[in-house]
Structure 1
Amino acid sequence: MNDKEKLLLTYIEENPFMTQQELSERSGLSRSAVAGYISNLVKQGKIMGRAYVLPKKNGITCIGGANIDRKLQLDGRLIPETSNPAKTEQSSGGVARNIAENLGRLGKQANLITVVGEDTEGSFLLSHTKSFADVSASQRLLNESTGAYSAILDEEGEMLFALADMNIYESVDIGFIDKRWGLISSSEMVLLDTNFPEDVLKYIIRRCQTEGVPLTIIPVSEPKVLKLPTSLEGVSWFICNKGEAETYVGMTIETEGDYFKAAKAITQRGAERVVITRGDQGLIYYTTYKEARAVLPPKVEVADVTGAGDALVAGILFGYLKGSDTDGACRIGVICSSITLQSKYTVAPTLNKTKLQQEFSLFY
């Protein structure tokens, strides 16, 4: 939105029944100019039809990956250059999709904008996810294979390495996003992972900043964090791990102080709140309000680390939009992560508001 559209929207929020003539008189704009700006606001999804009905906030819209997750856990020590006995599991995955499901399990309205193939895997993903999030803005693509992520875990459940086939996301363009902007712009929060092409990511970030749409960015991986622009102006939350932070700001993190230096450097690029995760040492956060703290996690028996970071993000956003401050939101995220760590599933089927409240009161 430009400044004049923002001004008119402010007047409409005060009185949705103002006529265009009244808007003209109050704003000092011509009647024809007001009509043009109103038309633009309708196209942007900021207002809806007669009487300037304002759209309701549509929860959290998660934009990015939806993949098939395959986990292969070794029965013993990895022996290179030979076959290793392992157990295999398959489930729904993808950072944006996982976060959307976690939010749905917590009772928070979530929308998923992604692409999958016209294949069995795509059908499985959308069918499973629609129980927890609105997937109507997602699209199935002919002649494309649904994204796939395969993680190799050691006998303790820790990830050794992972392989990802995400070629389908290169099919996403700015037009795909424009067609869904009405939903995006009416969201309480937009969650963006970095699976889509660089120009699409930059377009979403720039437009959210211009229109004042709250935005959370999840870098996904060290290579993909390099798709992000240098400026993060307008970003409400930036949540990453140690490697992603090091790659993005170009520094090595060795001490706890280094974590805070990296987080501060990211806020200096425009992000309002930065969280850097530290594995079994929890997380640190730093904000433009000079809030800085480490949050330690409860000690739990780890069944599988896959998906714990996605649960953390969902918990943080759930708490934040419920009114928690930065520290409280991060603690809620840590508890969601710990619940997921104790599950062999990427999204813990035991996660819900009641379980979250029980675990939170037990540890914090």
Structure 2
Amino acid sequence: MTHRGTIKQSYGGVGRNLGDALARLHCRPFLISAVGDDNYARALTNHNPLLERRGLKVVKDASTAVYCVVLDQLGEALFGVGDMTIHDYITPTHVRQFEGEISKSPLVVVDGNLPQLTINYILDLCASCHVPVWYEPTDIQKVTKPWLGGRGDNVTFTSPNMNELGALCSHLGLEVPTIPGKYEDLPQMLQQVLTTASPLLHTMHALMVTLGPYGFMILRRASPNTMDDPLLPVTDICPITVTHDEVVGLHFPGPQNPKIISVSGAGDCLAAGFIAGMLNKKSVSECGALGRSAAKLSLAASPAVPHTLSPDALPWGHHEVFTTINRS
């Protein structure tokens, strides 16, 4: 049976989206990945001339990763099918060629689609070089990879959604937070996330939990006077020295009545905007404003990373209002 619909092709992949978005925000990312020797790869590599290509491994007789997602009339994802075999070629041997670039980085972003051995290698390398790591889980089946490899303590930042956080908490034997059924349940859910995820802050410096239409939450150890302080640079890489500061949550609400064409890529643009602020040593509230604006641009466009994303399109210097969540 054939169902009527509209078919569009755009560029995607969590790691690629982040690289694309950070390049558009003039953060000069160095993307390490693998592509096939095909037309998809040539289109992908020519798509954004600002994105460094030296880290890309071209594999003959292999297919560039392709993901097909079916969206409903509201732009929400129903399901997806992915051909991701090319990721197996992102091996420790390939990554090892770029140890110099990694060791000098202010932040390394690791995509959960990488093979387990490669994730282990990168986390070991970053720990030895005192480079902070932001782990992007990508889905509930991959959120636990650093912990499965015994390297969870080497994750400095991570950004799960509620389902991914639940999978990680379940794996670690922590209480699993519940997703609110209506807006009135949001305060209780935020309090539950803070209580449940607090043990992760024994080693991590901060945790971003994305909440869909409810916005996102930043968890960190801080005093009332330091909760909005910049997250970078990190002076002591995990495991951190646990201070007397309490774990606090900073809740940034979702945009009101946003224009939604597609939700695909909005989370990646949120993370990229937030990371761009971190790299520029901005406060958490400034990073929140940048991430929120980048996500809105993505929601209003079909491509995961819209052409409209640029430094000039974001509200640099604006402090997004947040609600502080403390442990009861």
TM-score by length of 2: 0.81
Aligned counterpart in structure 1 of residue 160 of structure 2, from 229, 240, 245? 240
Question: What amino acid is the match of 1:105?
Answer: R
Q: Which runs of 5+ in 1 are unaligned?
A: 1-81
Question: What amino acid is the match of 2:314?
Answer: L
Counterparts of 1:297 and 1:358 in 2: how far apart (Å)?
Answer: 18
Residue 156 of structure 1, CA deviation: 0.9
What is residue 43 of structure 2 aligned with on the other side? 124
Question: What amino acid is the match of 2:75?
Answer: G
Q: Is 1:228 aligned with 2:122?
A: no
What is residue 138 of structure 1 aligned with on the other side? 56
What is residue 211 of structure 1 aligned with on the other side? 129
Counterparts of 1:346 and 1:249 in 2: how far apart (Å)?
Answer: 28
Provide the secondary structure at the position in 2 that maps to 1:163. Answer: strand
Question: What amino acid is the match of 1:278?
Answer: L
What is residue 294 of structure 1 aligned with on the other side? 251
Which region of structure 1 is more displaced relative to structure 2, 93-102 or 323-332? 323-332
Q: Is 1:109 aligned with 2:4?
A: no
Provide the secondary structure at the position in 1 that maps to 2:217. Answer: strand
Counterparts of 2:320 and 2:107 in 1: how far apart (Å)?
Answer: 29
Q: Report the CA distance shift for 1:361/1:253 in structure 2 as closer, same or farther (over 3 A).
A: closer
Counterparts of 1:253 and 1:89 in 2: how far apart (Å)?
Answer: 36
Q: Report the CA distance shift for 1:142/1:284 in structure 2 as closer, same or farther (over 3 A).
A: same
> Contact conserved, 2:11 with 2:303, CA < 8 A, in 1?
no
Residue 258 of structure 1, CA deviation: 2.3
Aligned counterpart in structure 2 of residue 271 of structure 1, from 201, 204, 210? 204
What is residue 282 of structure 1 aligned with on the other side? 215
Question: What amino acid is the match of 1:245?
Answer: L
Q: State the number of aligned residues.
A: 281
> Contact conserved, 1:100 with 1:133, CA < 8 A, in 2?
yes
- String of CA shifts for 1:37-70, please: whole Å, max 9, x gaps: xxxxxxxxxxxxxxxxxxxxxxxxxxxxxxxxxx
Residue 164 of structure 1, CA deviation: 1.3
Provide the secondary structure at the position in 2 that maps to 1:291. Answer: strand
- Equivalent residue runs for 1:63-212 within 5 Å: 82-129=1-48, 131-212=49-130
> Contact conserved, 2:25 with 2:309, CA < 8 A, in 1?
yes
Provide the secondary structure at the position in 1 that maps to 2:304. Answer: coil
Which region of structure 1 is more displaced relative to structure 2, 270-279 or 100-109? 100-109
What is residue 333 of structure 1 aligned with on the other side? 291
More helix by share: 1
Question: What amino acid is the match of 2:98?
Answer: R
What is residue 46 of structure 1 aligned with on the other side? none
Counterparts of 1:198 and 1:316 in 2: how far apart (Å)?
Answer: 26
- String of CA shifts for 1:233-268, please: whole Å, max 9, x gaps: 343321111111111111432222222234323223
Counterparts of 1:271 and 1:157 in 2: how far apart (Å)?
Answer: 34
Q: Report the CA distance shift for 1:162/1:261 in structure 2 as closer, same or farther (over 3 A).
A: farther
Counterparts of 1:261 and 1:224 in 2: how far apart (Å)?
Answer: 23
Q: Is 1:253 aligned with 2:177?
A: yes
Question: What amino acid is the match of 1:115?
Answer: A
Provide the secondary structure at the position in 1 that maps to 2:9. Answer: strand
Residue 327 of structure 1, CA deviation: 3.4
Question: What amino acid is the match of 1:292?
Answer: G
Q: Is 1:323 aligned with 2:281?
A: yes
TM-score by length of 1: 0.73
Residue 358 of structure 1, CA deviation: 7.9
4+ runs deviating over 3 angstroms: 358-364
> Contact conserved, 2:133 with 2:155, CA < 8 A, in 1?
yes
Counterparts of 1:173 and 1:329 in 2: how far apart (Å)?
Answer: 32
Q: Report the CA distance shift for 1:359/1:279 in structure 2 as closer, same or farther (over 3 A).
A: farther
CA RMSD of aligned residues (A): 2.0
Question: Percent identity over the alignment?
Answer: 25
What is residue 303 of structure 1 aligned with on the other side? 261
Question: What amino acid is the match of 2:146?
Answer: L
Question: What amino acid is the match of 2:312?
Answer: T
Q: Which runs of 5+ in 2 are unaligned?
A: 179-188, 223-246, 323-328
Counterparts of 2:118 and 2:75 in 1: how far apart (Å)?
Answer: 35
Question: What amino acid is the match of 2:42?
Answer: S
What is residue 55 of structure 1 aligned with on the other side? none
Counterparts of 2:47 and 2:314 in 1: how far apart (Å)?
Answer: 22
- String of CA shifts for 1:130-160, please: whole Å, max 9, x gaps: x121111111001211101111100111111
Counterparts of 1:217 and 1:358 in 2: how far apart (Å)?
Answer: 25
Counterparts of 1:89 and 1:190 in 2: how far apart (Å)?
Answer: 31
Counterparts of 1:308 and 1:360 in 2: how far apart (Å)?
Answer: 20
Residue 326 of structure 1, CA deviation: 2.7
